[in-house]
Structure 1
Amino acid sequence: MSLSRGKLGRTADIPEDELPELVRQATALSLLYIQILVIDIYNPEITISMPFKDALREVSDGTVIDLEVTPGSKHTCIPSGYNPWRKRIEIKLSQAAQKGKANEQLIERLAILFDIPNSSVNIISGTKNSQKSVLLKAVEIDVAVSVLEKRIK
């Protein structure tokens, strides 16, 4: 049997006894991809498992988390998902993005989540953008990962 990738793609001869294994693997990957994309919209906590650790990095005075924030949502949800293409943890906030209210809510909620004072949460980039980077002062990356893993199922 011969498989081809497009007009200019390569052609591979695959023995017929190996084809069912390839189909099984492709099906498993497709189901995994579907499972990753499906979020239970009725549950405020996310029900997917993603390599969200790509959105965190350790710096000298704490941990930076890259976020994709959606203000003006019906419910506040931290985290609400993970964007693997942008490598950002998604967050939904109920406050509108007007006069810094969504940023205030973000700081308050992250402070509560990580059990730190509001003054230890700083938006270091994206104050007027949905893509934000937030510094959690004096929070080690292992602690941040642990806290987020409890929220991300």
Structure 2
Amino acid sequence: MVVLVDSFGDAVLSSDNGAVITIDVSAGCKKDAFPAGYNPWRKAVVCHVAARAVGGKANRAILDLIAGTFGVPKSSVSIISGAISSTKKIEIAGISREDAVSRLSVLLKA
């Protein structure tokens, strides 16, 4: 079940370097989309990527998509857990938790 919500508080944490977002990934979709909703069961922001989960292609697509969404260099975005799972923790260096939640909320309403 994917739910649209105003706050992603459960999915976004602070880290020493920036913000950590828990994402629920669907690979092999028709098009890339982030954020594509909120999964309350996993407490994760939904992410769709067209790339298949083969040879790290989906992970690279996720990092590119999130970097573009937040307007940060690709080097600022990293997978800190869940590299081979559909649920991942993504760290975005240089942005605050509050900024991440605000940006995600605005993007989902658009």
TM over 0.5: yes
Structure 1 consecutive aligned stretches of length 4 or more whose deviation exceeds 6 Å:
none
User: Which residues of 2 match residues 10-89 of structure 1 at below 5 A?
Assistant: 48-89=4-45
Q: Give SS of 1:116's match.
A: coil
Counterpart contact for 2:2–2:39, Cα < 8 Å: no
Counterpart contact for 1:50–1:82, Cα < 8 Å: no
Output the TM-score relative to the length of structure 1: 0.67
Partner of 1:107: 63
CA distance in 1, matches of 2:14, 2:106: 19
Q: 2:83 aligns with which of 102, 113, 127?
A: 127
Q: Give SS of 1:79's match.
A: coil
Query: How far did residue 52 of structure 1 move?
Result: 1.9
Output the TM-score relative to the length of structure 2: 0.92
Partner of 1:4: none
Query: How far did residue 131 of structure 1 move?
Result: 0.5
The higher radius of gyration belongs to 1
- Which of the pair has the greater relative contact order for Cα pairs under 8 Å at 6+ separation? 2
Counterpart contact for 2:5–2:37, Cα < 8 Å: no
Structure in which a larger fraction of residues adopt helix: 1
CA distance in 2, matches of 1:109, 1:139: 16
Aligned length: 109
Unaligned runs of 5+ in 1: 1-36, 40-47
Q: Please give the root-mean-square deviation of Cα atoms over the aligned residues, in Å.
A: 1.5
Counterpart contact for 2:67–2:77, Cα < 8 Å: yes
Deviation per residue, 1:72-127 (Å, 9 max, x gap)? 00111111111111101111100000111111111011111111110100100011
Unaligned runs of 5+ in 2: none
- Call closer, same or farther: CA 1:132–1:150 in 2, change over 3 Å: same
Q: 1:149 aligns with which of 96, 105, 108?
A: 105
